[in-house]
A and B are shown apart, each in its own frame.
Chain A
Amino acid sequence: MKTASSFLELEERRRLVPVWFEGGELQLPEGSNLAAAMLAAGVGTFRYTPVSGAPRAPFCMMGACFDCLVDVDGVTRQACMLEVTEGLRLSMPRKGRNVIDADN
Chain B
Amino acid sequence: MQITDLVIIGAGPAGMAAAATAANVGLHVILLDEQPRPGGQIYRDVDRVAPVRGEMLGKDYTDGLSLTAGLDHGNITHISGAVVWAIEEGIRVLYTADGRGGAIEAKRILIATGALERPMPLPGWTLPGVMTAGAAQILLKQSGVLSKNAVLVGSGPLLYLIASQMIRAGTSPLALVETQTQADLLRALPHLGGALRGWRYLLKGLTMLSEIRRAGVRRYTSATNILIEGETAAEDIRFTADGKTRHIPCDTVLLHHGVVPNTQAARSIDVAHHWDARQHCFVPNLDDWGGTNVETVHIAGDGAGIGGAKVAALAGRLAALKMAADLGAISTIERDDTAKPIRRSIAQELAVRPFLDKAFPPAIEATKPVDATIICRCEEITAGDIRRHAGIGCAGPNQAKAFSRAGMGPCQGRYCGLTVSNLLAEANSATMDETGYYRIRPPLKPVTLGELAEMGGSVNSATN
Do any beta carbons of A and B sit within 8 angstroms of each other in the complex?
A: yes
Please list the residues of chain A having a beta carbon within 8 angstroms of any beta carbon in chain B: 6-12, 32-33, 36-37, 39-40, 44-46, 49, 51-52, 54-67, 69, 75-76, 81, 83
Query: Chain A residues near B378 (CB, 8 Å)?
Result: 66
CB of B445 within 8 A of CB of A63, answer yes
Determine the chain B residues whose CB is within 8 A of the CB of A75 once the complex forms.
448
A32 to chain B, nearest CB (A): 6
Chain A: which residue is nearest B135 at the CB level?
A61
Counting CB contacts under 8 A, is B143 at the interface? yes
Q: A36-B139, A54-B126, A56-B128 are in contact. Are A62 and B41 (CB under 8 A)?
A: yes
Measured CA separation A69–B445 after assembly (Å): 13
Q: A65 and B126: CB pair below 8 A? A: no
Chain A CB within 10 A, most for which of B34, B53, B83, B135: B135
Contact A58 B409 (CB under 8 A): no
A44 to B262, CA, bound (A): 28
A52 and B143 contact, CB distance less than 8 A: no
Contact partners of B36 in chain A: CB under 8 A: 83
Number of interface residues of B (CB under 8 A): 47
Q: Which of B233, B377, B414, B448 contacts A45 (CB 8 A)?
A: B233
Q: How far is the CA of A66 from the CA of B169 in the complex (A)?
A: 29
Q: Can you offer 11 A-B residue contacts whose CB atoms are under 8 A? A: A7-B139, A8-B148, A51-B379, A55-B128, A57-B128, A60-B117, A62-B41, A63-B445, A64-B411, A67-B126, A83-B36
Q: Is the CB of B377 within 8 A of A59?
A: yes
Answer yes or no: B341 CB below 8 A from chain A CBs.
no
Closest to A54 in B: B126
Residues 360 to 418 of chain B near chain A (Cβ within 8 Å):
377-380, 409-411, 414-415
Q: Contact string, B297-326, partner A, CB cutoff 8 A, digits 1/0?
A: 000000000000000000000000000000
Q: Determine if B263 is an interface residue (Cβ-Cβ < 8 Å).
A: no
The residue among A32, A44, A56, A65 with the most chain B CB atoms within 10 A of its own CB is A65
Residues of B within 8 A of A69 (CB): 410
Nearest B-chain residue to A52, judged by Cβ: B380
Residue of B nearest to A73 (CB): B99
Bound-complex Cα distance A44 to B251 (A): 10
Shortest CB distance B147–A (Å): 6
A65 touches B232 (CB 8 A): no
Q: Is the CB of B233 within 8 A of A57?
A: yes
Please, which residues of chain B bring their CB within 8 A of the CB of A76?
Answer: 446
Whole-angstrom distance between the Cβ of B135 and the nearest chain A Cβ: 4
